[in-house]
Amino acid sequence: MKKYILSIFLAAVFVPLSAQHKVDRFFLDMRTSFHQETIDGEYSSQMVGEYLNLHLLGHIAPNVDYRIRQRLNKKVFDERNMFNATDFMYINWQASPHWNFTAGKQAVLIGGYEYDAAPIDVYFYSQFCNNLYQGFTFAFSSTYTFAQDQRLIFQIANSPLSLGFQNVYAYNFAWSGSVVPWWKTIWSVNFVEDQSHRMVNYLSLGNHFILPNAILDIDLMNRSGFGQRRFLMSDYTVISKFIWSVGDWNICAKAGYEKNAAENVDANGRAYDVVIAPGTEYLYAGCGLEWFPLGRDNLRLHAVYYRDNVDHRNNFDIGVTWRADIIR
């Protein structure tokens, strides 16, 4: 671990010495909380460090950039996935004003704003995001920018339904853009193999609405295995998030509902969806406050509460998130 951090540090120091190579940003961000919860009436609490991330962004040529994000508080090595703690480790080539190509470890291209958000900015997740085996895998992506802020993206990735590298893949096609200036989108169609080489289809529609002093996100996801009796609204997720900004404060609310019908199993009784189990009906909701006393990029204090209907969990967190810039 020390050798890995040292190598990153040396890269940050010596790479800028090249005329072509440039480190644009090098920083750490962290989140820690006082966590309290009751599950079926039983209380527990602890002080926890939730995230410690190292970020390195730069260029090795004017049209070739790279990005690394390493979670320093996550198990680094797993025999099935030696880059388990690495979210991003990719290189991106801007081949022309319209085309760019990305190779390396990156987010699997599944639509939705909850899924797309940086984990350090999410206080509680849907079951889909919580149970997905891996949201970041090695992949190749090609992006076509056909108008300002309008992109079509195709990606071939190691499957997020595999535990590591198991010869199973995901084939993803997405539109990241906007319908009108105040309605932005991350919509995707995904064909994802599980570890048994069965294919499941995702239709994921992430919608981001920009309102006066507020934002509203609405994510819709439909999942269907090939052979599943009902294609639409038999296995799905609906998520809504609202943030109202008042000066240095955010007032936040979020709710989600996920359902997978008990009938969604194959002839052998195996679930078509290995992330959300058949028979699941999950409802969760919460609210919170965020305060930015030193600017929105530097320091954030939060108080967040949520409850679900499965564990009857009442969760309350008070915490702080901060960033330390080393090179900017």
pLDDT at 307 over 70: yes
- Map out the domains of the chain with their CATH numbers: 25-327 (2.40.160.10)
Tell me the mean pLDDT in the region 240-263. Answer: 97
Tell me the mean pLDDT in the region 180-205. Answer: 96
Using one digit for the tens of pLDDT, what is the confidence trace for 120-165?
Answer: 999 999 999 999 999 999 999 999 999 988 999 999 999 999 987 7
pLDDT reported for residue 13:
42
Tell me how far CA of residue 209 lies from CA of 178, 212, 219, 249, 286, in angstroms. Answer: 10, 10, 11, 19, 20
Q: Is 149 left (phi over 0), alpha (psi -120 to 50) or beta?
A: left
CA–CA gap between residue 7 and residue 75 (Å, rounded): 18
Q: What is the value of pTM for the model shown?
A: 0.90
Cβ–Cβ < 8 Å for 74, 55: no
Amino acid at 236: Y
**Total residues belonging to the chain:** 328
Q: Is 241 exposed, middle or buried (0-12, 13-18, 19+ CB in 10 A)?
A: buried
pLDDT at 18 over 80: no
CA–CA gap between residue 154 and residue 144 (Å, rounded): 9
Structure tokens belonging to residue 165: 């590298």
pLDDT band at 115 (very low <50, low <70, confident <90, very high): very high
Tell me how far CA of residue 117 lies from CA of 81, 84, 232, 247, 312, in angstroms. Answer: 23, 19, 26, 22, 26
pLDDT reported for residue 237:
98
Give the DSSP H/E element, type plus range, for residue 169: strand 169-180
Using one digit for the tens of pLDDT, what is the confidence trace for 202-237?
Answer: 999 999 999 999 999 999 999 999 989 999 999 999
pLDDT at 17 over 70: no
Give the DSSP H/E element, type plus range, for residue 11: helix 2-14
